[in-house]
């Protein structure tokens, strides 16, 4: 199994280009990030070229301090589309393969329609560049009121829009908290999954602790044909290097 270092959490004490270098040194196969916009895209691209790593994903901006994304928030369509365009431009400049389009805190029919329209815009902007648009349900403890509440809701939106650029971010941490039944859920949702992330549950720490048996989960994904890198998106307590004991065992899956 291959792994991607999510630099929103891993080595987040380093500037992004140095975090990319640290991930390469640690043996990761790829990287991904949250909000890279404070770093010029040319600097990020240079670090990726230097290390030979691919950037698999980045997020649209959250919005203001109280926001958690903008795409489903009625009345903020202009901001949402500016965030989408910014993310696509950064992805193009860094050869990043996907953009996580963050929905935000909202609910109801108007939020649903706003989300659909903004996702149509995101997919149209992504299409000429071969970029995937990812949507990710977040659990209610970490993201109260987030519009996208579970994987079935996300899959229904993907089916409704029927756009080839639009895929599901299957985050095992969020899925375990909201629904459980990880292996069956992954198998059922596999046709619409664009990326996979992992962390322990409930602490969101390194994946070789907690209630999810990742050896079983990753082995099941592998048997079903998943060969792309799985994103390690977990919180560290202390140096990232001291949390990577899981990599050797899981890399053999």
pLDDT tens digits, 128-171: 999 999 999 999 999 999 999 999 999 999 999 999 999 999 99
Give the pLDDT band (50/70/90) at residue 123: very high
In whole angstroms, give the CA distance from residue 194 to residue 133. 9
Return the number of other C-beta atoms located less than 10 Å from residue 214's C-beta: 24
Tokens standing for residue 188: 């059922």
The one catalytic residue in 136, 160, 165, 241 is 136
pLDDT of 65 over the 90 cut: no
Mean pLDDT throughout 102-124? 98
pLDDT recorded at residue 88: 98
Tokens standing for residue 77: 């369509």
Tokens standing for residue 218: 């990753």
pLDDT of 202 over the 90 cut: yes
In whole angstroms, give the CA distance from residue 172 to residue 250. 15
Q: For residue 19, which of 27, 9, 11, 8 has the smallest C-alpha distance?
A: 11
The one catalytic residue in 66, 117, 209, 233 is 233
pLDDT of 212 over the 90 cut: yes
Would you give the distance in Å from CA 62 to the centre of its chain? 14
Mean pLDDT throughout 169-182? 97
Mean pLDDT throughout 18-22? 98
**Per-domain residue ranges for the chain?**
3-251
**pTM for the model:** 0.97
Tokens standing for residue 213: 């048996």
Asked about 50 being catalytic, the answer comes back as no
In whole angstroms, give the CA distance from residue 27 to residue 92. 25
CB 60 within 8 Å of CB 84: yes
Mean pLDDT throughout 185-210? 98
In whole angstroms, give the CA distance from residue 27 to residue 243. 13
pLDDT in tens, 85-108: 999 999 999 999 999 999 999 999
Mention every residue, 6+ apart, whose C-beta is less than 8 A from residue 21.
Answer: 47, 50, 51
E strands along 8-137, which residues? 30-32, 54-55, 58-59, 98-100, 132-135
pLDDT recorded at residue 134: 98
Put the strands of the sheet holding 98-100 in their side by side order.
54-55, 30-32, 3-6, 230-232, 193-198, 166-171, 132-135, 98-100, 58-59
The CATH number for 3-251, chosen from 3.20.20.150, 3.40.50.300, 3.40.50.150, 3.40.50.720, is 3.20.20.150
In whole angstroms, give the CA distance from residue 235 to residue 248. 19
Mean pLDDT throughout 62-71? 94
pLDDT recorded at residue 176: 98
Asked about 233 being catalytic, the answer comes back as yes
């Amino acid at each position: 199994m291959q792994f991607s270092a999510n630099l929103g959490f891993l080595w987040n004490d380093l500037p992004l280009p140095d975090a990319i270098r640290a991930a390469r040194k640690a043996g990761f196969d790829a990287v991904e990030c949250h909000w890279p916009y404070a770093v010029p895209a040319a600097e990020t691209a240079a670090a990726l070229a230097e290390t030979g790593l691919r950037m698999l994903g980045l997020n649209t901006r959250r919005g203001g301090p109280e926001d958690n994304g903008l795409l489903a928030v009625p009345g903020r369509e202009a901001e949402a589309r500016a965030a989408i365009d910014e993310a696509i431009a950064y992805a193009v400049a860094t050869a990043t393969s996907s953009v996580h389009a963050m929905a935000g805190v909202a609910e109801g029919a108007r939020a649903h329609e706003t989300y659909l329209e903004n996702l149509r815009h995101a997919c149209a902007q992504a299409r000429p560049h071969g970029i995937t648009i990812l949507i990710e349900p977040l659990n209610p403890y970490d993201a109260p009121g987030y519009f996208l509440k579970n994987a079935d809701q996300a899959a229904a939106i993907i089916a409704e829009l029927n756009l080839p650029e639009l895929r599901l971010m299957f985050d095992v941490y969020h899925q375990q908290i909201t629904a459980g039944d990880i292996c069956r859920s992954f198998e059922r949702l596999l046709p619409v999954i664009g990326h996979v992330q992992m962390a322990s549950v409930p602490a969101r720490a390194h994946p070789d602790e907690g209630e999810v048996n990742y050896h079983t989960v990753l082995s099941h994904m592998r048997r079903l044909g998943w060969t792309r890198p799985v994103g390690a998106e977990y919180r560290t307590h202390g140096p990232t290097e001291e949390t990577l004991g899981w990599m050797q065992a899981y890399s053999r899956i």
